[in-house]
A and B are shown apart, each in its own frame.
Chain A
Amino acid sequence: MKRKDFLRAVSGALAALAVSALPAFAADLEGKLVIVTSYPPDTTVTIKKAFEAAHPGVEVEMLKKKTTAGIKFLQETAKNNTSDMFWASAPDAFEVLKADGLLAKYQVKVQGIPEKVGAFPINDPDGYYKGFAASGYGIMWNTRYLKAKKLPVPKTWAELADPVYFGHVGMSAPSRSGTTHLTVETILQGMGWEKGWGLMKSISGNFKTVTERSFGVPDGVNSGQFGLGIVIDFFGLSSQASGFPVDFLYPPITTLVPANIAIVKNAPHPKAAAAFIEFLLSAKGQEVLLDPKIRRLPVNPETYAKAPAGFPNPFKDKSIGAAVKFDLDKSKGRYNVVNSLFDVLVTYRLSDLQDAVKAIHDAKAKAKAKGKSNAEAAKLIAEAEALVAKMPITEEEAGKKDVNAIFKKKRKKADTKITGRQAEVEQQWDKEAKANYTKAKELAKKAAGML
């Protein structure tokens, strides 16, 4: 196997010599295609098989990276690029690559793909990346778990902040998963910065855990380690298709965004890459998305005719993903800041946050049970809630260029001057967050004591 690699490399080098000496003969695809992707083997292997069957002679190599790690990988290797395509869910990841000039334009030939899914354009208006499937974010739950613990099914994000779900919810961190980043960004854009973070943090107070990988969430729900998870739709749908006792729904504030594919600039195998895009968007390629192991929403409306009963169809059901108009530029402008804020305020301070939220739950429950209104206690509880929700920076600051520059680690030139270090800023935020959560807990306890 390894020797074959070596031989292939040598023959590749020889072939390159031959090609550079002769005028290239067009049409034929290259024998290889290297795709950087965030998708699990279930998706990549199935599609790879279908593609290789349609184009014998092309060997597809999948380089599995987390979305964030994939961006880093393409940035680090740009000078000596060996990858042909980038294939992942989050459009904002593609925006980052586009802004860095790492993608190549491509004009799709396949017909029949509409302009929009939900409120979102399927393809990049500038022509750099293409949507091949739609994804929405929602809530999945383990039906056995909810039944055993006698929990209701939540219909909206706000219901997830309800005290009954304390310790039952799981989510990944936006810095670890591009899809989770989109979920957080959707809530922030749908409800506004202050309110959005406030809700995000009260939901987080109910977290059982923040998983290191986005798949950690469906995995936890599937095995019953926690009952509910905030996930991208295909995790819920494919888990269900694999036989787990789980279900999934889209809350009203969600956005349908296309999952994308793009050709990397200076791709070594551009023709094979173009063929892959065309295949993915063809009727055959779109049908592969319905495979029980994949279960993603096709962008070709006609493919839904072959979908199983109960499969969501955003082209018919207009309630899915129409409420929020997702602003990609806004998301791109504060990408790293949002990641860092979530990690500092939620991921790494989870136990302090849980304690504060629990104390507030208890105080409220006591007030309700006693049935008497105590203005002072109510005021303290409100103060505690405000402290939990409090953000170290405003929306305006988070979008500022110089603030974002602190979180970008690549210095363009040696003399580029950036004031502030990421560790320094995060340490300040962390200090504030810890103080706020501790204070909030004290206030809530005090309020409970008054009742």
Chain B
Amino acid sequence: MITVSRSHWGPGAVALFLALFLTVFLVIPVAKVIYVAFQDPNTGALTLINFIDFFNTSLFRESFVNSFYVAALSVVVASAFALPLAYFTTRFNFSGAILIQTLGVIPLIMPPFVGAVAMVLLFGQNGTINLLLDEYLGFTIPFMEGLNGVIFVESVHYFPFILINLSAALNNIDRSMEEAAQNLGASRGRLFRRIVFPLAMPGYVAGASLVFLKVFDDLGTPLLLNINNMLAPQAYLRITSIGIGDPMGYVISVILVTFSLLALWTSFLALRGKEYATVQKGGGGLMKRDLAGWEKAGCYAVVILILLLVLSPHIALTLLSFGTVWSFSPLPDAYTVQHYVDVVSTSSIYITNTLLYAGLAAGIDVVFGTAIAYVVWRTGLPGRKMLDYLAMGAVAIPGVVLGIGYLRTFYQFDVPFIDKPLASWWVIIVIALAIRRLPYALRACVAALQQVSVMLEEAAENLGATKSRTVRRVVVPLMTGGIVAGFVTSFATASVELSATIMLVSQESDAPLAYGIYEFMQSAAGRGPGAALGIIAVLIIGIATYLSHRIVNNKETERAPRQQSAAQGV
């Protein structure tokens, strides 16, 4: 018989509540989706026939191959963007390194489909670049044709995941390893191959697998580029045009989930069995060296080129938001501020909704993240690891699947007093966002908790503090940096989320920004205002992110141990 000590009651109740929440809002909806995939559409009996249909349909096979191809190539292209930026800024004495790192994260805070609209204007077949190329050089480059466009847009949007993780990994490499290698006479090339590259691997793999997952699941970008032959759009198209009863949408969902889990597992396998932690700390980060003049010029040229490329959606969006008519010409015909005036007067509801939803979701995430981290790392509750896996598992659930699952599970369930189904109440959007971003916050909280010594807690308890008092007065305050970092990542990424919300928004007054922009982009007169709304979104999220970073940094300088940065290791 397991005896549960009295001090376990508090954490036990918290763990139970968390498990219940995750079961209701993650496990059951996903299980419902999986269940329908195995049901005969006509009789309701359990069957594998839908999967046989899936693999017999050449369209679905093609979609599968296309999704895989796009995700894999996006990782390659995103790496090409991220590697030089990460390496140059951590390895060399490079003025503007902070600025470069900051600019490199900006693509993440724009909804990828907005980026798609903007990039078509710049790189499309009759976009700025190609019109100029055609006029002066007589040829064009198919940047945006078919799957190329999806790969291009996705890698620009998601490469910061690799940049953040890889920079963090490079900064954490112990300098003494490098010194040892140099003392033993290793050349620069050998040093890179045998020391820097292998030690940076965990960060790179973490970022790359995240990019793979995100691209594999993304819905908005292929839809905006009119690419149908991929898995996520097929699932969405089946469900919205044939109906919530069509089994193929669910089969596709199951396949999406399976492959996302597989990608996570592969990245886990790739790192297993190797020891990456360096024991003693001989000083953080690699030795930075100075560059020779011509080297410096070359590096800057590469960095500026990459930054121009990855910031091109923002450049195009800015032009679009100030432009009057932009049609088959390299630049807009004229400029105006009217779109901003329109948007501010009519669309403040989208902005307040977004701040409310993303704020609530990120709040839930850090509270739950802290609680889960504490339960998993500081208590001996049975099954506590399951809680961690469950919460992390959310990263592998595509937004479309979660959206479909919520519609299916909560449509029958009426909220008391509100008199409408839970699936069409705005709170469900907050819950969906919270579940989808929980893994980000959880990783940040775990990292922060691991840096708080258990001895401090023991000391507090020896002095007579209760468990809850210890958590409130000692653990949480010491974790603040990590918690804020988790909040920022969850908030910023939740603000631009579309794939789950597009299925769950049931009325305009509940719609968040990303949805509002999507709606604006559906009418001739709405492109400018939509772009203006996009720019406002980027600014607001950017400012919110910057402010919280400031808070984190202040906290960090107050206390000696450095907190790990937000998105790393998700």
| A interface residue numbers (CB < 8 A to B) | 1-2, 5-6, 9-10, 12-13, 34, 40-43, 45, 61-64, 66, 68-69, 72, 75-77, 80, 82, 142, 144-145, 148, 175-176, 209-213, 215-216, 218-219, 222-225, 235, 238-239, 241-246, 292-293, 339, 344, 347-348, 407, 409-411, 414, 416-418, 421-424, 426-427, 430-431, 434
CA distance A431 to B53 in the complex (A): 13
CA distance A297 to B251 in the complex (A): 44
Task: Verify A69–B240 contact, CB threshold 8 A.
Answer: yes
- Whether a CB of chain A sits under 8 angstroms from the CB of B331 is no
Residues of the A chain whose Cβ atoms lie less than 8 Å from the Cβ of B245: 409-411
- Whether a CB of chain A sits under 8 angstroms from the CB of B327 is yes
Task: Verify A243–B523 contact, CB threshold 8 A.
Answer: no
Chain A nearest CB from B139 CB (Å) reads: 15
Residues of the A chain whose Cβ atoms lie less than 8 Å from the Cβ of B346: 45
Residues of the A chain whose Cβ atoms lie less than 8 Å from the Cβ of B327: 142, 144, 222-224, 244-246
- Whether a CB of chain A sits under 8 angstroms from the CB of B228 is yes
Residues of the B chain whose Cβ atoms lie less than 8 Å from the Cβ of A243: 324-325
- Whether a CB of chain A sits under 8 angstroms from the CB of B379 is no
CA distance A274 to B41 in the complex (A): 39
Residue among A6, A210, A348 with most chain B CB within 10 A: A348
CA distance A444 to B247 in the complex (A): 39
- Which residue of A has the minimal Cβ distance to B528? A242
Residues of the A chain whose Cβ atoms lie less than 8 Å from the Cβ of B127: 225
Chain B nearest CB from A137 CB (Å) reads: 17
Task: Verify A224–B42 contact, CB threshold 8 A.
Answer: no
CA distance A271 to B356 in the complex (A): 34
Return the contact of B508 from the options A61, A225, A292 (Cβ within 8 A): A61
- Whether a CB of chain A sits under 8 angstroms from the CB of B417 is yes
Return the contact of B506 from the options A63, A68, A235 (Cβ within 8 A): A63
Return the contact of A42 from the options B126, B349, B525 (Cβ within 8 A): B525
Task: Verify B226–A10 contact, CB threshold 8 A.
Answer: no
CA distance A175 to B125 in the complex (A): 27
Task: Verify B223–A212 contact, CB threshold 8 A.
Answer: yes
Residues of the B chain whose Cβ atoms lie less than 8 Å from the Cβ of A426: 57, 59
Task: Verify B328–A176 contact, CB threshold 8 A.
Answer: no
Residues of the B chain whose Cβ atoms lie less than 8 Å from the Cβ of A224: 126, 327-329
What are 15 A-B contacts with C-beta separation under 8 Å?
A40-B523, A41-B508, A41-B523, A42-B526, A77-B421, A142-B327, A210-B228, A216-B226, A223-B328, A242-B325, A245-B328, A293-B523, A411-B245, A422-B41, A422-B242
Instruction: Given A13-B417, A41-B520, output 17 extra A-B contacts at Cβ < 8 Å.
Output: A1-B352, A62-B508, A76-B243, A144-B328, A144-B329, A175-B242, A209-B226, A213-B522, A219-B527, A222-B524, A244-B524, A347-B228, A409-B242, A409-B245, A422-B41, A426-B57, A430-B57
Task: Verify A176–B241 contact, CB threshold 8 A.
Answer: yes
- With A6-B417, A409-B246 in contact, is A68–B233 under 8 Å at CB? no
CA distance A10 to B44 in the complex (A): 40
- With A223-B328, A418-B42, A421-B53 in contact, is A61–B246 under 8 Å at CB? no
Task: Verify B509–A61 contact, CB threshold 8 A.
Answer: yes
CB interface residues, B 12-70, toward A, < 8 Å: 41-42, 44, 49-50, 53-54, 56-59
Return the contact of A348 from the options B44, B49, B59, B420 (Cβ within 8 A): B59
